[in-house]
Amino acid sequence: MAQRPPSILVVDDSGFTRELMTLFLRQRGYDVRLANDGTTALNMLIIHRPDIVLLDIAIPGIDGFSLCRKIREDAILREIKVILFTAMDYGDNAEKARQAGADAYLSKPIVHENLLAALKSVEPH
């Protein structure tokens, strides 16, 4: 029986970033869904329960740090792997991401090799 590809929810308010990530991830066999803000993302997480969420920190509505904490506090959603990323890479964002419960942290522009390494580190085996 073939294993299904991991499902990923990409959350970013930049349509350009969403499209680039979608193209890159689908070419590698991932099932990709998209959200452009935190509120939409939370609803999609509840409905679709992806394996992984790629989550921009600076999004409208619920910001990435807050959404990550909500995921970790929810008994049903807490197993979803979270990779936080941002273009506003201040020195303490990696630590804030860890404190919010993120499984990995990336800076924009996202280097494909770094994204693949982060995904491999959180994918279920």
Q: What is the tens place of the pLDDT at every residue in 93-124? A: 999 999 999 999 999 888 999 999 999 999 87
Q: What is the tens place of the pLDDT at every residue in 40-77? A: 999 999 999 999 999 999 999 999 999 999 999 999 99
Assess contact for 109 and 100: CB atoms under 8 A: no
What tokens does 18 get?
């969403």
Confidence (pLDDT) at 125: 60
Domain boundaries, the chain: 7-122
Where does the pLDDT of residue 2 fall: very low under 50, low under 70, confident under 90, or very high at 90 and above?
A: low
Angle (CA) 119 121 123, round 5°? 65
Fold type of domain 7-122? Rossmann fold (3.40.50)
Q: What is the DSSP string of 64-106?
A: HHHHHHHHHH-TTTTTSEEEEEESS--TTHHHHHHHHT-SEEE
Assess contact for 16 and 56: CB atoms under 8 A: no
Its pTM stands at 0.94
Distance in angstroms (rounded) separating the CA atoms of residues 102 and 99: 7
Q: What is the tens place of the pLDDT at every residue in 3-22? A: 778 999 999 999 999 999 99
